[in-house]
Structure 1
Amino acid sequence: MSGSATLTAASAERRASVMPTPEGHGQILLSVPGIRCGACVASVERRLAELPEVVSARANLTLRRVTVTLANAGADPLPVIEKLQALGYPASPIDTSDLGPQAESAQSRQLVRAMAVAGFGAANIMLLSVAVWSGADGATRETFHLISGLIALPIVAYSGRPFFDSALRALRAGRTNMDVPISIGILLAVALSVVETVQGGAHVFFDAAVTLIFFLLAGRYLDQLMREKARSAITGLARLAPKGASVERPDGTSEWLRLDAVAPGMILHIGPGETVPLDVRVVEGATDIDRSLVTGESMPIAAGLNATLEAGTRNLTGTLRAEVLRAADESFLAQMQRMLGEAEAGRGRYVRIADRAARLYAPVVHSLALLTFIGWVLATGDWRASAFVAISVLIITCPCALGLAVPVAHVVAAGRLMREGVLMKDGSALERLAQIDHVVFDKTGTLTTGQPRVSAAPTDPARRAAARALAAGSVHPAALAITAHLPECGPPASDLREVPGFGIEAVVSGRRARLGRSSWVAEIASGGTAPAGPAFAFERDTAEAFHLAETLRDGARETIAELEARGLTTAMLSGDVAERAKAMASRLGIAEVHDGATPADKIGYLNALQIDGRRAMMVGDGLNDTAALAAAHVSMAPSSASDAGRSAADLVFLRDGLQAVAVAHDLARRTARLVSQNIGLAVAYNCLAIPLAMAGQVTPLIAALAMSGSSLLVIGNALRLNRAGKMASTPSLPAAEGLEVPA
């Protein structure tokens, strides 16, 4: 009875992890830490698709998660989990909000510890080996062999676990991976070395085994380090949503409820400065709303009765009563999180160069080593000598050079980019950046600085001082720009009140004054008129306007010209109105403009490019760009971008100028050439070394040294990036040529 109840509870818990989709299917998110390469992604997606209850499966290499769509929303995902377990990929359901990096950080710490232990052991065993190489024999040689074995055995057992565990899981699932021949080579070398030590033999290979582990761990850690930096975009969006909301009771009082307990039709109270928790319709009140999450534009909009507000937008000024339109899991913010996850999964299917090169490694090396062993046994009848030759083949073909060829180049490139003011989070971004043929720019905050500034203001000192006194009482972006532009300090404002959606009214030196929307200011101005744009007027006095403008980011025009000169096409995707978007594009020389674009529009545009075989780079900064940044072939954001935007982007530039886009593209092309050279060196090394090893001309020790030498060769080649000349960049405009467009 108890066992049955336990099974029922476990099944109910798994079913609760399946979220219904609008199509009537069920979707579950699984954590699969064993996904490590493009081959893993392909294997997982292909094998899960064979299950009758699975509609689709999408594996995300960056997040190491699998999104599975089930035919029935109420289905138990146990067959999926069991299938992954059988394939050697233990999986467990996770909450969509459980997206922290703790597990990945723990894995990195484990790799660092294992690498440190292996490096310590390799250094000490090499010191002992020097004496043997120098001619030590007899009891001295046997003693050094014994000490080497005592050092090597615990180190191999501890530091080799990442490879042994991975190989064991693969073999249990009836498949092979790169870690299988690595593990076989290490274990055979250690086992035969133990036998030789016990029997007083002349050759042991403890140094080869430990050094091999150290170099492999170094390559794996460098790759892990790059991947870890690309996992927190969805977390940034999840943090935007409040945990709960203030819900109005029938008696008019309020109570705080968790978002999952708030149902459509309930009335919420949303105060100034609060984030709108769910999609709502305003039933009472007026305010200014920061909709940069939706449009990317920093200028707030007025919202009054019956206005629809999206979850994640911010209430700036007024107090609202609003009716809930959709539940938390169907809100605009939840949809953005889902779009981001799907976009990252799409990008996660990109197969890196090293992954493609490694797919054939295991079966080829196994076959060569087995054929070598069989051939030498048939030729000599000596299984021990045949085993030594086979081990030499396994070690000398070790993928150290191949494993280091890509990550070491990416780490050197990351350091070079850092000196140029660009942060790279994922090494594969450089590969993708070198392949682009189209660049898509957001407008506000990307091509421009993102903050409005005053380009023209009233000249009368009294009006300037009064306007500043009013502007100082508001946090509206336009008011902040006016405050920054007007240094004059005049008499203080009294009876100051902010009218959401209209502006600020106060009494200055005994005179009523208004600053804000021109139609509202015109109500008190002489003649009942006011110029367009933010205006100021004393009561029964002439109204004057403040002209706000956006300033182009340094180097924007030159960067676009440089990209066009390289054969890349450019486009602008903006949530702004057509007039401002097209004015900006014409100044920059961008022919293709899409205005009024929502997050879904941006993803749709990028997906259409992908269907056409185009490879687009997205450069954006706003929360509304987050999913598009993840959906693009590669993406870049300024350091001033939102937290979620920076997390979703592959590269972040730290300096104010847009020159970083051209600089990063230039380095990406150089790195791509260098990576190809490194892989070519690794392949050439194997083509030369394998025949010698199969012919018995290479001992395991020499094989380990040759393997180390090939690794040092690709490292040295990668370091040429640091010695390369200055990268191509675009000069910024002189200050006198700064461009402005109306805000």
Structure 2
Amino acid sequence: MLMTRDFSHYVKDVDPQTAHLDLAVEGVSCAGCMAKIERGLSAIPDVTLARVNLTDRRLAVEWKKGAVEPALFIDRLAELGYKAYPYEPVRAEVEETERSKFLLRCLGVAAFATMNVMMLSVPVWVGGDLSPEARDFFHWLSALVVLPCAAYAGQPFFQSAWRALKAKSVNMDVPITIGVVLALGMSLVETINHAEHTYFDAAIMLIAFLLAGRFLDQKMRQKTRAVAGNLAALKAETATKFVGPDEISEVPIAAVRAGDLVLLRPGERCAVDGSVVEGRSEIDQSLITGETLYVKAERGTQVYAGTLNISGTLRVRVSAASEGTLLAEITRLLDHALQARSRYVRLADRASQLYAPVVHATALLTVIGWVLAGASWHDAIVIGIAVLIITCPCALGLAIPAVQTVASGAMFRAGVLLNAGDAIERAAAVDTVVFDKTGTLTLPELDVVNGAGVPDEVFQLAGRLALASHHPVAAAVARAAQAKAPLPGVTEEPGRGVRALFEGEELRLGSPAFCGADAEANAILSADPEVSVVAFSRGDRHTVFAVRQLLRPDAARTIDALLNRGIAVELLSGDREPAVRHAADALGVSAWRAGVTPAEKIAHIEALKAQGRVVMMVGDGMNDAPSLAAAHVSMSPISATHLSQATADLVFLGKELAPVLAAIDYSRKAMAVMRENLTLAIGYNVLAVPIAIAGLATPLIAALAMSGSSILVMLNAMRARRVRLGGASWK
């Protein structure tokens, strides 16, 4: 009977030509594994992407639709020595928890054996008059403790090495396994032959230290992965949908479409993006805005998937659901961030590919060299074991990916998502930041700036009338007035405004000419030419509202912090000169230009680059996409157009501008730690390998040195998550 495997349920469409599949891969433990898997799958014709995320051991594969059967990927991974299956977050989390528990049990067994065998070894080390029989007795006791403990505690390395060898390849665990098995085997032979020295202590100590490093690595990745897990927890799987005027039904989120009406009860998380059409409540939207205080939700308020409804019941008109929501976009960007790799990561990947043949060849040549020099086979093999252990480049394999993982998680917590593999490396070099104004230095929404001088009754009527208009300036009046109920019988005159009858008087909202308020509007514009105006009239009484985009609340503080770091700041905007001048003066930016076209922005950035400046462009509009691509590194707010986000190397969340500063500070810290780790890893090998080859390091010393270097780079990598942001902070 022929059995087929159907993975169509797990395959997603990236675009009409490209399919995507996420696979969970067992046995991925280092950069060498990642490179091996990616090379193996990229070699399959029509595969366009193969990228391993070491944080959650997930493989993302993309290929031309219809060209490859997904089952082929699992078969190919099996040939490479890795078991794989479709990635399911719940299953993956359970298995990762079990793996952590297993590593902890192995570490406990290895630590128990290490402590006991060290006590048994003390009499042998210091007992100058210890009889041969007593020495043999302690050696046999050591063997009795170590051999079963090593067999259990060494499973993470032994199983990984066996899978690699079965696939006719090697990984970082192969030399570790060979070294441990040789040390244990030789120690047993030495014990049987009544020799003076054995190496049970070296073998079990090596396993204990390596397990400590691997467990530390696991916990660090779990902590970073928890960020993505927290986002996943915000996603609702169902929504309460109106299927009739007064009938609701709980349906899977996949059954919700744009334009549908959904009910959001108190205490529920919103499953969709949309706008409130009825009801009033408070909502927690800290994920989107960075604001921890609850905000009012009423008619016209935008809500997003993941938003928590606090108090009242809301009816929401859906604008996006499922994979189209802003929360889904943030999750995709975070996944990209955790998979991203800089030039340093790729350098470490290439180095780790060479380690196995180099380690084995070095150990073999050392044994042969010592034998030719007149040493006994026993002594030559002992030195070879030490070389095999001490040259294993675990530290080099962990040096860069560990920093990348820590930095990516820390940057997300500061509101920054990576959208390019080398974004950290490029952002660290920035010495000039060029800002767009509208939607970047300012908030995306318009706001009324002279509302304090408007009588409350007038403001409320204008707001209720504004609810009938789709114009963004009118929407700003409605928001500022917190209007809830639109006026009945509203008529719209395209291009002019809206009008309605109220208590026998005509109300109008629109252009100053439409409302007969030209004089009042001109007075406001002459005092503040950058604002937009909308007029309101009730009979022969007129009011003019001044509306503008407000600067981000921490914009001045963030720019001041950038300047204090020696980073030049410029403002390039296509907006009118008065508006740009006002923003530049308010922020303390001396270098600014208004009325700049997209082509002129690119030309200016190229001129700065010709002067040797390293430019970061921060912009949000579609017209900013070319200049974002022209800069050395680029950044966009999450509210930016999709084209702008796709072009930007980094994306930031929330209303504040602090993530721009955080991106540079975290990137500089990460690059410094990467360089430190590379120096530590390479320096360790430069010093340790000659010592081992010269026969000056026993297997025990080799185990301590190699394990210690791995743990050192892991602990040093943790420093990448601590950055003092100075004058600005992410809430």
Q: Quickly name the TM-score band, shorter chain normalised.
A: 0.5 to 0.7
**Residue equivalent to 2:178:** 184
Q: Is the 8 A contact 1:26 1:75 kept in 2?
A: no
Cα distance per residue 1:630-649 (max 9 Å; x no partner): 986667667x88xxxxxxxx
Seen in structure 2, the aligned counterparts of structure 1 residues 164 and 469 have a Cα distance that, compared at 3 Å, is farther
Task: Choose from 193, 212, 220 the match for 1:218.
Answer: 212
Task: Choose from 672, 678, 681 the match for 2:680.
Answer: 678
**Residue equivalent to 2:44:** 51
Matched ranges for 1:188-203 at <5 A: 188-203=182-197
**Residue equivalent to 1:691:** 693
Instruction: Confirm whether residue 260 of structure 1 aligns to residue 254 of structure 2.
Output: yes
Aligned equivalents of 1:147 and 1:91: distance in 2? 41
Aligned equivalents of 1:161 and 1:343: distance in 2? 32
Aligned equivalents of 1:240 and 1:205: distance in 2? 54
Aligned equivalents of 1:719 and 1:223: distance in 2? 10
| Cα distance, 1:153 vs structure 2 | 2.4
Instruction: Confirm whether residue 167 of structure 1 aligns to residue 167 of structure 2.
Output: no
Task: Choose from 485, 503, 506 the match for 1:498.
Answer: 485
TM-score (norm 2): 0.67
Q: Is the 8 A contact 2:618 2:635 kept in 1?
A: no
**Residue equivalent to 1:667:** 669
**Residue equivalent to 2:493:** none
Instruction: Confirm whether residue 555 of structure 1 aligns to residue 557 of structure 2.
Output: yes
TM-score (norm 1): 0.66
Aligned equivalents of 2:416 and 2:484: distance in 1? 47
Aligned equivalents of 1:286 and 1:391: distance in 2? 73
**Residue equivalent to 2:621:** 597
| Cα distance, 1:223 vs structure 2 | 3.3
Seen in structure 2, the aligned counterparts of structure 1 residues 53 and 301 have a Cα distance that, compared at 3 Å, is same
| Cα distance, 1:389 vs structure 2 | 2.5
Cα distance per residue 1:153-206 (max 9 Å; x no partner): 233223322222221221111111221111110111112212223333211112
Instruction: Confirm whether residue 700 of structure 1 aligns to residue 699 of structure 2.
Output: yes
Q: Is the 8 A contact 1:271 1:320 kept in 2?
A: yes
Seen in structure 2, the aligned counterparts of structure 1 residues 197 and 219 have a Cα distance that, compared at 3 Å, is same
| Cα distance, 1:534 vs structure 2 | 8.7
Aligned equivalents of 1:517 and 1:579: distance in 2? 29
**Residue equivalent to 1:508:** none
Report SS of the residue matched to 1:458: helix
| Cα distance, 1:682 vs structure 2 | 1.1
| Cα distance, 1:367 vs structure 2 | 0.7
Aligned equivalents of 2:666 and 2:445: distance in 1? 25
Aligned equivalents of 1:359 and 1:116: distance in 2? 31
| Cα distance, 1:93 vs structure 2 | 1.8
**Residue equivalent to 1:340:** 333
Give the residue type in structure 1 aligned to 2:700: L
| Cα distance, 1:92 vs structure 2 | 1.0
Cα distance per residue 1:527-571 (max 9 Å; x no partner): 9988866999999866475877443346312233356x35x8888
Give the residue type in structure 1 aligned to 2:679: Q
Report SS of the residue matched to 2:452: coil
Seen in structure 2, the aligned counterparts of structure 1 residues 602 and 121 have a Cα distance that, compared at 3 Å, is farther
Seen in structure 2, the aligned counterparts of structure 1 residues 711 and 258 have a Cα distance that, compared at 3 Å, is closer
Instruction: Confirm whether residue 397 of structure 1 aligns to residue 384 of structure 2.
Output: no
| Cα distance, 1:146 vs structure 2 | 2.8
Structure 1 window deviating more from structure 2 (69-78 vs 200-209): it is: 69-78
Instruction: Confirm whether residue 86 of structure 1 aligns to residue 110 of structure 2.
Output: no
Q: Is the 8 A contact 2:417 2:650 kept in 1?
A: no
Q: Is the 8 A contact 2:21 2:61 kept in 1?
A: yes
Task: Choose from 98, 103, 111 the match for 2:103.
Answer: 111
Aligned equivalents of 1:209 and 1:186: distance in 2? 5
**Residue equivalent to 1:489:** none
Instruction: Confirm whether residue 387 of structure 1 aligns to residue 417 of structure 2.
Output: no
Structure 1 residue ranges without an equivalent (≥5): 484-495, 504-510, 642-652, 734-743
Q: Is the 8 A contact 1:189 1:205 kept in 2?
A: yes
Cα distance per residue 1:289-316 (max 9 Å; x no partner): x9x9999899999999xxx999999999
Aligned equivalents of 1:500 and 1:236: distance in 2? 40
Aligned equivalents of 2:487 and 2:684: distance in 1? 66
Q: Is the 8 A contact 2:171 2:356 kept in 1?
A: yes
Give the residue type in structure 1 aligned to 2:184: V
Report SS of the residue matched to 1:498: coil
Matched ranges for 1:262-661 at <5 A: 268-270=260-262, 331=324, 336=329, 340=333, 343-344=336-337, 347-348=340-341, 352=345, 354-376=348-370, 382-399=376-393, 402=396, 434=428, 456-458=450-452, 463=455, 497-499=484-486, 519=510, 543=543, 545=545, 549-550=550-551, 551-553=553-555, 555-562=557-564, 565=566, 584=583, 587=587, 588=589, 597=621, 608=629, 614=632, 616=633, 618=635, 620=637, 622=638, 660-661=662-663
Identity %: 31
**Residue equivalent to 1:16:** 9
Seen in structure 2, the aligned counterparts of structure 1 residues 635 and 208 have a Cα distance that, compared at 3 Å, is farther
Cα distance per residue 1:663-719 (max 9 Å; x no partner): 4355345424422431342132134324313xxx44323434554676798799x59
Task: Choose from 238, 252, 262 the match for 1:243.
Answer: 238
Aligned equivalents of 1:195 and 1:626: distance in 2? 67
| Cα distance, 1:447 vs structure 2 | 5.6
Structure 1 window deviating more from structure 2 (133-142 vs 447-456): it is: 447-456
Instruction: Confirm whether residue 127 of structure 1 aligns to residue 114 of structure 2.
Output: no
Task: Choose from 127, 146, 150 the match for 1:152.
Answer: 146
| Cα distance, 1:256 vs structure 2 | 4.1
| Cα distance, 1:357 vs structure 2 | 3.6
Aligned equivalents of 2:338 and 2:458: distance in 1? 54
| Cα distance, 1:387 vs structure 2 | 2.4
Give the residue type in structure 1 aligned to 2:161: A
Aligned equivalents of 2:269 and 2:511: distance in 1? 27
Q: Is the 8 A contact 2:437 2:571 kept in 1?
A: no
Q: Is the 8 A contact 1:553 1:657 kept in 2?
A: no
Q: Is the 8 A contact 1:278 1:327 kept in 2?
A: yes
Alignment RMSD (CA, Å): 6.3
Give the residue type in structure 1 aligned to 2:621: A
